[in-house]
Amino acid sequence: MKNRKKQVGYLLVLAIIFLSVFIFYLSFKQNKQSDLLKVVYLDIGQGDAIYIETPNKKQILIDAGPTALTLSRLSKVMPFADRSLDLLILTHPDQDHIGGAPPILDSYKVDNVLVTGFYSDSSLAQELDSKIEKLKLNRIIAKRGQRFVLDQSRNIYLDILFPNQDIADLESNETSIVSKLIYGQKSFLFVGDSSIYNESLIIWKEEEKTIDSDILLLGHHGSKTSSSILWLEKVSPDLAIISAGQNNRFGHPSEEVLDRLEKLNIPHLITFLEGNIVLFSDGQKIFQK
């Protein structure tokens, strides 16, 4: 009996040592990459969900996809046992962008929620508004000129380019928040379901250097109603990302948009072909591992 107790004791000690080494390994691995910005375009079907993690471990989610699947996908790209987000950006209140938000708010501590302020009477949007109010989250209305400093020592920040006007008379897609993430010499542009009309409003009000970005998430999942030739020329991305579901009923991405990209020699990646698209930046270059 004593020998068995000793064996159990040894196994327990070994288990504790193994767990400690494993946790140390995870911590070491994360610290080793502490100078890198990570941007993950999550493969969540027909919708958008982009996870951002800065070198100082600020965590942002732009949109929450159509369903609770986003919750599962998110947990696999975030640090071990982490259940908090500094900022949740909901570009506009359509199902494919906010459907996964309620379960995320139930499972994660979220400090701030950035929204357009556009009123939607859908049951999902109403549920989400009620949850934000019940949890007493800091609800921020997006507007042009806002800057969210994410990592002050490395000068990483997120600028809001749209809405740049009153959105009361616009339809839901046209109210989409457009934001630009900047780290050193590199930048990422996120546009929700912005239409060609939105693109023209931004081009009209912003300097060309403000719009120019290295990575562009194509508007509306590659729909032909977004990503005009003029917009693509002004943004001049090195890479376009398309977040869409395989065999989706909308036919996204459209052949017309793919032709525009080819005409301008802009390479592209699609989530339903690649899975999660994970990009890193040290402020000087952007790369995949």
**Residue 122 backbone dihedrals phi, psi, to 5 degrees:** -65, 150
Locate 97 and state its tokens: 């962008």
pTM > 0.85: yes or no: yes
Residue 1's pLDDT is 54
Residue 17's pLDDT is 56
Q: Is the pLDDT of residue 11 over 70?
A: no
HSE-up of 137 (CA within 13 Å, CB side)? 28
Residue 289's pLDDT is 83
Residue 80's pLDDT is 84
Sequence ranges of the domains in the chain: 1-32, 35-287
Q: Tell me the average pLDDT across 76-87.
A: 93
Question: What 3-state class would DSSP assign to 152?
Answer: coil
Residue 23's pLDDT is 46
Confidence of residue 143 (pLDDT cuts 50, 70, 90): very high
Q: Tell me the average pLDDT across 66-88.
A: 94
Confidence of residue 28 (pLDDT cuts 50, 70, 90): very low
Residue 81's pLDDT is 86
CATH level 3 topology of 35-287: Metallo-beta-lactamase; Chain A (3.60.15)
- At 170-210, the pLDDT tens digits run 999 999 999 999 999 999 999 999 999 999 999 999 999 99
Alpha-carbon distance of 130 to 143, in angstroms, equals 22
- Residue 254 carries which DSSP code? P
Strand ranges, E, within the chain: 37-41, 50-53, 59-62, 84-89, 109-115, 138-141, 147-151, 156-162, 178-183, 186-190, 215-217, 239-242, 268-270, 277-281, 286-287
For residues 9 and 281, which has the higher predicted lDDT (pLDDT)? 281
Rg (CA), the chain: 21
Q: Is the pLDDT of residue 125 over 80?
A: yes
Q: Is the pLDDT of residue 272 over 90?
A: yes
Alpha-carbon distance of 280 to 40, in angstroms, equals 9
Share the mean pLDDT of the chain: 91
Q: Tell me the average pLDDT across 91-100.
A: 97
Residue 233: enclosing H or E segment and its boundaries? Answer: helix 229-235
Per-residue buried b or exposed e for 67-96, using 16+ beta carbons within 10 Å of the residue's own CB: bbbbbebbeeebeeeeeebbbbbbbbbbeb
Asked if 193 contacts 90 with a C-beta cutoff of 8 angstroms, the reply is no
Helix, strand, coil percentages, rounded to 5, for the chain: 35, 25, 40
Burial class (CB in 10 A: 0-12, 13-18, 19+), 140: middle
Question: What 3-state class would DSSP assign to 217?
Answer: strand
Q: Which of 171, 147, 161 is nearest to 92 (CA)?
A: 171
Residue 90 vs residues 102, 103, 128: alpha-carbon distances, Å: 12, 14, 11
Residue 15's pLDDT is 54
Residue 198's pLDDT is 95
- At 197-248, the pLDDT tens digits run 999 999 999 999 999 999 999 999 999 999 999 999 999 999 999 999 999 9
Amino acid at 73: R
Q: Tell me the average pLDDT across 21-40.
A: 63
- At 190-199, the pLDDT tens digits run 999 999 999 9
Residue 27: enclosing H or E segment and its boundaries? Answer: helix 2-32
